[in-house]
Amino acid sequence: MNDYTGHHNRTIAYDAGEYVSHPTGHALTISTVTAEQILDSRGNPTVRVSLRLDDGFEAVASAPAGASTGAFEAVELRDGGPAYGGLGVQGAVTAVRTEIGTLLTHHSYNTISDLDRALRDLDGTRAELPLHRWLSLVTGSAERMPVPHFNVLNGGAHATNALDFQEFMIAPVQAATEAEAVRTGAEIYHALARRISTKYSAAGLGDEGGFAPPIDSAEEALDLLVAAITDAGYTPGVDSVAIAMDPAANGFSLGGGRYRLAGRELARDELVDYYENLVDSYPIRSIEDGFAEDDHEGWIALSGRLADRIQLVGDDLYVTDAARILDGAHEHYSTAALIKPNQIGTVSQTLDAITAARRERVAKYNRLTQIEAQNPTISYGLA
């Protein structure tokens, strides 16, 4: 388990679905239920509910809505009217404080399933929630099909060649559908296989399934990818078929802000310059772990140079730890975080990490509305 606590004393509130059983194992007996209207990550109203158990344990949950809704998913209760374009949830807040609160505080529940069943019976509908929709709700994320990143060239710890960078991926960002993106990736993969076979006679596969030809520089890898994209009949470009890299800089870090690439030692500023030159020369849209996990100065320098041009992803930097992600957002280390449940150990901590990555920009506004609700005598506006 990861015991990193962070530098800035920020608190992670729990979102819907994360609290699955009482920490001591006995029945759930809820003593109080409160609710309030907050804003989700899109600036739309949603409900936040706080529960207190009879032993003093407290849980807080919020229920952000996706940008689109399917015909068979749970129905939202919105206020209508002019406020928030009709999307207010004061009626839902009132329902939680009254009939739902009464239901929850007048019974004990042996399992979370018992509690959920009681809520469904009160609601009277039979709609169930698919896993992808549940994940969207508990993390405040929009439901969106991902752009697949095909890992097609390997080096570093994933291969036996002399290439220092660990992974090179192709990303069909121009594809209109997931099926089209998969087809694009497959066609480029086979074009790359033909090109590598012609140039190098044969090439093994790395640990991650990408080709591992006998190359030793990022430029050689990028030239191969650009050629394969073109061979397959597509256009290389950050808005068409783009390239993503995972240098995995821990593997070539010398410590102290110094790195060794292709036999040459680089200071962190020189490595930033090198990445910028690659981005200038090739259709790169993402760099993952461009600096070592403990080289925060390097991350800040890279972000200052390239964060407004490409995606900068932290993997080893964050290890799916919510506290580390919050620190990274505060210090401007990166613009994205890679999420891997195996890195942190539990599903709930993984959900915390996703929530942390998405909630920073609206948390301050929700805290202000909470302060106002708790202190109605405080005046609003400029003095």
Establish how many alpha carbons lie within 13 A of residue 80's alpha carbon, considering only the half-sphere containing its beta carbon. Answer: 0
Q: Annotation-wise, does 327 bind a ligand?
A: no
Q: Annotation-wise, does 372 bind a ligand?
A: no
> Which are the catalytic amino acids?
208, 340
Q: Annotation-wise, does 288 bind a ligand?
A: yes
Which residues are annotated as part of the binding site for Mg(2+)? 246, 288, 315
